C-alpha cells in the first residue's frame, strides 16, 4: 500500500472510468474505509456524482461495502488489487479464447465489460464455462436491508440456473414474460483464471527447460491433481504415475513422452524446482506436486535474472552465492566469488544498498573476559526482496502510464485530427463517395504528420507491451506471496 501503488491504481481507473470516478477512488484509497458523506467532504464533488461513481465501482467489483454501525449507512472500501487486475483482462480473454474458442472469449469479454450479467442473456454457451468455474455467482442480498449484506453459499456458487429456451425465445420476440433468472448475476472468477495461468507458467517452464514432451507430462499431472486435491494447496495428494501413462497412451500412443516416460520422470524429479517428488513405490510409483516449493524456486530464478540484467553477471554470482550459503561472512564471500576483493565489496555493497541483500548480525553474549566477537553476515530475506520487487513493478507501471499520457497530450492536436479525418472517411464511405474525394481528404494529413503519428503509435505499442510484460512479473511474484 505505497504511494506508487496508489498512483498506479488511480491512473488505471482514470483511463477506464474518467476523472470523477478517479477522484472518488483516490479518496477511498487514502481512507481505506469511508462512508458516503466523508467521501463528499474529501472530494468536493456533488453528491449525485459520488453516488454514481460508487455505483460504477461497485458494479465492477472495485469497491466493497459493509454496513456501518448505523445500519442505514455503508462504509466503502476500495479493492485496489482488483483494480490492478484490470491490466490482466486481455490475458484472461486470450486464455479463454485459447482454451474454449471465440464464443467463450466473447462471453468473458461481455461479462468483464458489463461487470456482471444474468445467464439468460449469455444463453446456452455459458453452460460450459459455468461447469468449469470460470464464472461465479455474484453475491446477492438475502434480506431487504438499507445496506444489503451480500452473500453467496458455496453450493450455489456454480449451480446452474434453469434456463428455459422457450421463455427465452418468447422474450426475444417481444413477449412480456419475466426471465426466470432475473436476479441471478454472474461475474468472472479471477481465481480460476489465475489457477490456469499458474499451470500455464509451470508447463512453459518445463517445456523451456527440457522439451515440449516434459511440459505435456507436467500438464497431465496437474490435471490429474485436481481430481484429488484442492487447487490452491501447497502440496498435492499423491498421483499414481500409471494414470498419467494411461492418459498418454490414449492421447499420443507413439510420442516420445510415452516411449521415454521413465527417463522423463527421472529428469523432472531431479530438476531443482522440485515440483514432482516421489511419494511411494507402489503400483509403479506415485508422485506429489509441490506447488509452493516450485514457485519459490521460480521466484528465485526470476530474481537472479533481474539481478543479472540490472547489475551484470558478477553481481549475479555474488547473489547466487549468498543464496547458496544462506548466511555468509563478507570475507568468505569475497574469497568464494572468485572476483577481485575490491569488486566483490563494491557489488555486495551495491546489492545491499538496493535491498537485494540483507545483513544479519550475530552477537555473542559478552563474557567477562576477552573481547566480544560480533559476526556480520550477508543473507537474503526472500519475502522482503519479493515485496520490494513488487513495489518496483508498480513504479514501472506508473512510469509507463505517465509517459503514455504525456505522449498523448503532446500530440493531442495531431491525434485528434487523425480521428476527425477517420470519422469523415467513414461517413464518406457510407455515402459511396468516389476514390478521388476520399484521397483528397486523406491528403489532409501531411507527410510529416504521418511520420509523427507512426512514431507515436510505435511508442504507444511499446508502452502497452511493457504494461503486459510487467504484469507477468507481478503475477509471478504474487503467486509466490499466495503460497506464503
Q: How far apart are CA 434 and CA 53, in angstroms?
A: 46
Q: Which residues pair with 290 in a beta bridge?
A: 235
169 vs 359, beta carbon nearer another protein = 359
Q: Closest distance between another protein and the C-beta of residue 170, in Å?
A: 22
Please report how close the Cβ of residue 221 comes to another protein at its closest, in angstroms: 25
Least separation in angstroms between residue 150's CB and another protein is: 7
d(Cα 225, Cα 239) in Å, to the nearest integer? 7
- CB 152, CB 141: distance < 8 Å: no
Rounded distance between C-alpha atoms, residue 219 and residue 202, angstroms: 8
| Local structure of 278: helix, strand or coil | strand
Which is nearer to another protein, 180 or 231 (by Cβ)? 180
Beta bridge partners of 154: none
- Cell readout for 144 is 431487504
Residue 430 C-beta: closest distance to another protein, Å: 16
Closer by beta carbon to another protein, 146 or else 267: 146
Q: Please, which residue, 174 or 371, has the CB nearer to another protein?
A: 371
Rank residues 72 and 172 by Cβ distance to another protein and give the closer one: 72
Question: 36 vs 453, which CB is nearer to another protein?
Answer: 36
Question: What is the torsional sign of CA 411, 412, 415, 420?
Answer: negative
> In the bound complex, what is the minimum distance in angstroms from residue 161's beta carbon to another protein?
15
Least distance between another protein and beta carbon 83 (Å): 13
User: Grid coordinates in use for 71?
Assistant: 445500519
* β strands within 101-175, DSSP E: 117-118, 135-137, 140-141, 150-151
Distance of alpha carbon 477 from alpha carbon 384, whole angstroms: 11
Question: What residues contact 204, with CB distance under 8 A and at least 6 apart?
Answer: 215
Residue 151 bridge partners (DSSP): 140
Which of 24, 291 has the CB closer to another protein? 24
Collapse the DSSP code of 339 into the 3-class scheme (helix H, G, I; strand E, B; otherwise coil) and give the result: coil
Smallest gap from residue 159 Cβ to another protein (A) = 19
DSSP characters for 70-120?
STTSEEEEE-HHHHHHGGGHHHHHHHHHHHH-HHHHHHHHHHHHHS-EEHH
Nearer to another protein, 167 or 306 (CB): 306
238: phi then psi, degrees, rounded to nearest 5: -60, 140
Shortest Å distance, C-beta 339 to another protein: 13
By C-beta, is 92 or 261 nearer to another protein? 92
- According to DSSP, the β-strands at 33-35 and 150-151 are unpaired
| Counts for the chain of helices (H) and strands (E), in that order | 21, 13
Query: Which of residues 146 and 338 has its CB atom nearest to another protein in the complex?
Result: 146
Cβ atoms within 10 Å of 74's Cβ, excluding its own? 20
The residue (of 71 and 262) whose beta carbon lies closer to another protein is: 71
Q: Return the HEC string of 320-369.
A: HHHHHCCCECHHHHHHHCCCCHHHHHHHHHHHHHCCCCEEEEEECCCCCC
- What Cα–Cα distance (Å) separates residue 253 from each residue in 247, 259, 262, 268? 9, 9, 15, 21
**CB of residue 376 to another protein, shortest distance in Å:** 4
The nearest distance, CB 241 to another protein, in angstroms, is 33
- Residue 266 CA, distance from chain mean position: 32
**Measured from the CB of residue 165, what is the shortest distance to another protein in angstroms?**
24
What's the DSSP call for residue 325?
S
Please tell me what DSSP assigns to residue 378. Answer: E
Grid coordinates in use for 78? 476500495
Our CB check for another protein shows the closer of 32 and 251 to be 32
- To another protein, the closest distance from the beta carbon of 31 in angstroms equals 7
Amino acid at each position: 500500500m505505497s504511494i506508487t501503488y496508489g498512483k498506479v491504481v488511480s491512473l488505471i481507473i482514470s483511463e477506464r472510468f474518467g476523472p470523477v470516478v478517479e477522484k472518488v477512488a483516490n479518496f477511498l484509497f487514502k481512507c481505506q474505509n469511508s462512508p458516503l458523506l466523508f467521501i463528499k467532504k474529501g472530494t468536493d464533488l456533488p453528491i449525485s456524482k459520488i453516488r454514481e461513481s460508487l455505483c460504477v465501482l461497485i458494479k465492477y467489483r472495485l469497491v466493497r461495502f459493509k454496513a456501518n454501525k448505523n445500519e442505514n449507512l455503508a462504509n466503502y472500501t476500495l479493492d485496489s488489487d482488483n483494480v490492478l487486475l484490470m491490466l490482466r483482462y486481455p490475458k484472461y480473454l486470450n486464455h479463454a479464447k485459447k482454451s474454449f474458442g471465440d464464443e467463450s472469449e466473447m462471453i468473458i469479454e461481455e461479462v468483464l465489460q458489463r461487470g456482471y450479467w444474468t445467464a439468460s442473456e449469455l444463453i446456452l454457451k455459458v453452460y460450459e464455462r459455468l461447469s468449469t468455474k470460470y464464472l461465479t455467482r455474484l453475491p446477492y442480498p438475502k434480506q431487504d436491508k438499507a445496506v444489503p449484506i451480500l452473500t453467496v453459499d458455496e453450493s450455489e456458487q456454480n449451480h446452474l440456473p434453469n434456463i428455459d429456451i422457450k421463455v427465452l425465445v418468447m422474450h426475444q420476440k417481444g413477449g412480456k414474460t419475466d426471465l426466470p433468472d432475473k436476479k441471478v448475476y454472474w461475474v468472472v472468477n479471477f481465481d480460476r483464471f489465475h489457477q490456469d495461468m499458474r499451470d500455464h507458467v509451470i508447463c512453459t517452464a518445463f517445456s523451456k527447460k527440457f522439451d515440449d514432451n516434459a511440459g505435456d507430462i507436467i500438464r497431465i499431472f496437474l490435471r490429474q491433481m485436481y481430481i484429488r486435491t484442492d487447487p490452491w494447496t501447497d502440496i498435492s495428494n499423491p498421483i499414481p504415475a500409471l494414470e498419467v501413462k494411461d492418459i498418454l497412451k490414449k492421447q499420443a500412443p507413439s510420442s516420445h513422452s510415452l516411449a521415454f516416460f521413465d527417463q522423463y520422470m527421472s529428469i523432472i524429479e531431479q530438476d531443482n524446482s522440485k515440483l514432482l517428488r516421489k511419494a511411494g513405490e507402489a503400483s509403479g510409483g506415485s508422485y506429489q506436486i509441490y506447488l509452493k516449493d516450485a514457485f519459490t524456486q521460480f521466484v528465485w530464478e526470476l530474481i537472479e535474472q533481474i539481478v543479472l540484467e540490472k547489475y551484470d553477471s558478477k553481481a549475479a554470482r555474488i547473489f547466487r552465492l549468498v543464496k547458496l550459503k544462506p548466511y555468509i561472512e563478507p570475507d568468505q564471500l569475497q574469497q568464494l566469488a572468485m572476483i577481485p576483493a575490491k569488486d566483490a565489496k563494491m557489488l555486495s555493497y551495491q546489492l545491499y544498498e538496493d535491498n537485494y541483500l540483507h545483513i544479519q548480525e550475530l552477537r555473542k553474549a559478552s563474557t567477562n573476559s576477552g573481547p566480544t566477537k560480533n559476526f556480520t553476515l550477508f543473507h537474503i530475506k526472500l519475502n522482503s526482496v519479493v515485496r520490494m520487487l513488487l513495489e518496483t513493478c508498480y513504479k514501472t507501471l506508473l512510469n509507463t502510464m505517465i509517459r503514455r499520457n504525456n505522449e498523448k497530450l503532446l500530440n493531442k492536436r495531431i491525434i485528434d485530427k487523425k480521428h476527425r479525418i477517420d470519422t469523415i472517411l467513414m461517413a464518406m464511405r457510407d455515402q459511396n463517395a468516389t476514390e478521388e474525394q476520399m484521397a483528397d481528404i486523406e491528403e489532409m494529413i501531411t507527410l510529416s504528420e504521418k511520420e509523427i503519428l507512426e512514431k507515436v503509435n510505435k511508442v504507444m505499442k511499446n508502452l502497452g507491451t511493457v504494461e503486459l510484460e510487467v504484469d507477468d512479473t507481478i503475477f509471478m511474484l504474487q503467486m509466490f506471496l499466495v503460497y506464503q
